[in-house]
Structure 1
Amino acid sequence: MDLFALPPVAAVLGGAYHALMGLSHLLEPALGAGAAAAAVVALTLVVRAALVPVGVSQARAERTRMRLAPRVAELQRRHRKDPEALQRATMQLYADEGTTPLAGCLPMLLQAPVVGVIYAVFVHAEIAGGANALLGHTLFGVPLGTSLVGALSAGVPPVATAVVLGVLVLAIALVGELTRRATLPGGPLAVPTPSAAPPGYPGIQGVLGALQFATAVVACFVPLAAGLYLLVTVTWTLVQRILLRRRFPLGTEGGVRPSIP
């Protein structure tokens, strides 16, 4: 069953689509054929800006988890033979701090439908009972409905198509490399003290960097419009995380208490 065919979801998808096309028409006098592509970028920026509070919530939660990590580790050592006691003590620790182990997760889950609907506008061939006109618009002469893999599978693509789509994928890969470097020791997204990190945290950071390269792979298969969305999203995410890490540095909130009374 197509989730986007359900009446409520289809209505939201259609509203987002009409808003995007309306923005494209507004930009057309100034940007001409590139108006639709510019509208994709603008809509993506608006959505990411609206989701900034979600990023702030996640940054706060991450800092709290890092601050409590040594105390959680001590509880794990103290109650290693009693899982139920460990769970009670851990929950009490977080309750005393006015938070929960899942802090920051709910806002992240709430943003998923928003991001999913916006992304669907860029990949669905039909929306609101008709063809997705967005995908017929062009960027430097390349239709926004063209994918790199689709163009290559049809034979030797035109030079403009190969250049535009190739540059897009390489740009996403470059952001992936910058993200990977940012998670290395000494980078702005690195764990400041490995001993204070939650179990598996360095590995998680490495996976997050690698996922940016996975995004470049995905960009090879999706329409150019969706590729633009992905490029803006991964770039925004990297910059936002660096800025929020500076605003909420790990391991500094209220100091790190090494032991449980």
Structure 2
Amino acid sequence: MDLFALPPVAAVLGGAYRALMGLSHLLEPALGAGAAAAAVVAVTLAVRAALIPVGVSQARAERTRVRLAPRIAELQRRHRKDPEALQRATMQLYADEGTTPLAGCLPMLLQAPVVGVIYAVFVHAEIAGGANALLGHTLFGVPLGTSLVGVLSGGAPGVAAVAVLGALVLAVAVVAELTRRATLPGGPIAVPRMTATAAAPAGMQRALGALQFVTAAVACFVPLAAGLYLLVTVAWTLVQRILLRRRFPLDAGPNTGGR
């Protein structure tokens, strides 16, 4: 079952598509053939900017988890033989701090439909009962509906197509490497040493760089339009994480950097 074929979802998808194509037409006098690609970048930046509060919420929640980790470890030691008492004490601790163990998760889930619809505009060949005209536009002569794997598997690949698509995948991989280095000890978004009870946040940070490399692999298969979306998204995410980590440092005390 295609979720995007459901009438309400299809209507939202069609509206997003028309808005994107309208922006492309507005940019065309100034940017010519590159207007559609510029519209993809502009829409992606607009979506990421609108989701900044989600990133702030996640940064606050991560900082709170790290700050409370030693106290949770102490509760686990004290109530190691009484799971119910441990649960009550843990929930009371979070209540006293004005937060919950799931803080930051709900905003992240709420952004999924927005991101999903925008991404669908870049990968669906048909939208609103007609062909997706966006994928017929070009960037440096390469159609936005072209993928690197499709070009390489289609016989004699064009030099321009391989160069543009290869450069895109390489750019995503470079961001992945920057992200990996940023999460290393001493990096701008590295997680400080914590007890085993706080291993989840640390593990999430270590996995971040690996996930970016997965994104580079995905960029090999998706249309160029979707690849542009992925590149802008991972670059934005890295920069936003670095800035938010400076605003909400994980080793800050309870009365610094805000809550």
TM-score, reference length from structure 1: 0.95
Q: Encode CA deviations 1:49-108: one digit per residue, 9 max, x unaligned.
A: 000000001111111111101001111111112211111110000001100010010000
Q: Which residue pairs with 1:148 in the alignment?
A: 148
Letter in 1 for 2:152: L
User: In structure 2, what is the Cα distance between the partners aligned to 1:92 and 1:201?
Assistant: 21
Q: Which residue pairs with 1:43 in the alignment?
A: 43
Q: Encode CA deviations 1:117-145: one digit per residue, 9 max, x unaligned.
A: 00000000000110000000000000000
Q: Which residue pairs with 2:78 in the alignment?
A: 78
Q: Encode CA deviations 1:200-231: one digit per residue, 9 max, x unaligned.
A: 43322111110000000000000000000000
CA deviation after TM superposition for structure 1 residue 155, in Å:
1.4
User: In structure 1, what is the Cα distance between the partners aligned to 2:9 and 2:156?
Assistant: 38
Q: Cα–Cα, structure 1 residues 39 and 197, in superposed 2: closer, same or farther, change >3 Å?
A: farther
CA deviation after TM superposition for structure 1 residue 253, in Å:
3.7
Aligned partners of 1:182 and 1:189 also within 8 Å: yes
User: In structure 1, what is the Cα distance between the partners aligned to 2:159 and 2:44?
Assistant: 27
- Bigger CA drift: 150-159 or 129-138? 150-159
Unaligned 5+ runs, structure 2 = none
Letter in 2 for 1:19: A
User: In structure 2, what is the Cα distance between the partners aligned to 1:111 and 1:216?
Assistant: 22
Letter in 2 for 1:11: A
Aligned partners of 2:69 and 2:194 also within 8 Å: no
Aligned partners of 1:37 and 1:225 also within 8 Å: yes
Letter in 2 for 1:113: P
User: In structure 1, what is the Cα distance between the partners aligned to 2:255 and 2:127?
Assistant: 52
Q: Percent identity?
A: 85
Q: Which residue pairs with 1:259 in the alignment?
A: none
Aligned partners of 1:70 and 1:196 also within 8 Å: no
Q: Which residue pairs with 1:27 in the alignment?
A: 27
Q: How many residues end up aligned between the 2 structures?
A: 256
After TM superposition, list the pairs within 5 Å mapping 1:166-177 onto structure 2. Answer: 166-177=166-177
CA deviation after TM superposition for structure 1 residue 197, in Å:
7.3
Letter in 2 for 1:147: S
Q: Which residue pairs with 2:198 in the alignment?
A: 198
**Moved segments of 4+, more than 6 Å:** none
Instruction: Please give the root-mean-square deviation of Cα atoms over the aligned residues, in Å.
Output: 1.4
User: In structure 1, what is the Cα distance between the partners aligned to 2:13 and 2:96?
Assistant: 43
User: In structure 2, what is the Cα distance between the partners aligned to 1:131 and 1:42?
Assistant: 22
Letter in 2 for 1:135: L
Q: Which residue pairs with 1:134 in the alignment?
A: 134
Aligned partners of 1:64 and 1:253 also within 8 Å: no
Q: Which residue pairs with 1:245 in the alignment?
A: 245
Give yes or no for the alignment of 1:64 onto 2:64: yes
Letter in 2 for 1:125: A
- Bigger CA drift: 22-31 or 202-211? 202-211
Q: Cα–Cα, structure 1 residues 185 and 197, in superposed 2: closer, same or farther, change >3 Å?
A: farther
User: In structure 2, what is the Cα distance between the partners aligned to 1:112 and 1:72?
Assistant: 30
Q: Which residue pairs with 2:88 in the alignment?
A: 88
User: In structure 1, what is the Cα distance between the partners aligned to 2:35 and 2:255?
Assistant: 50
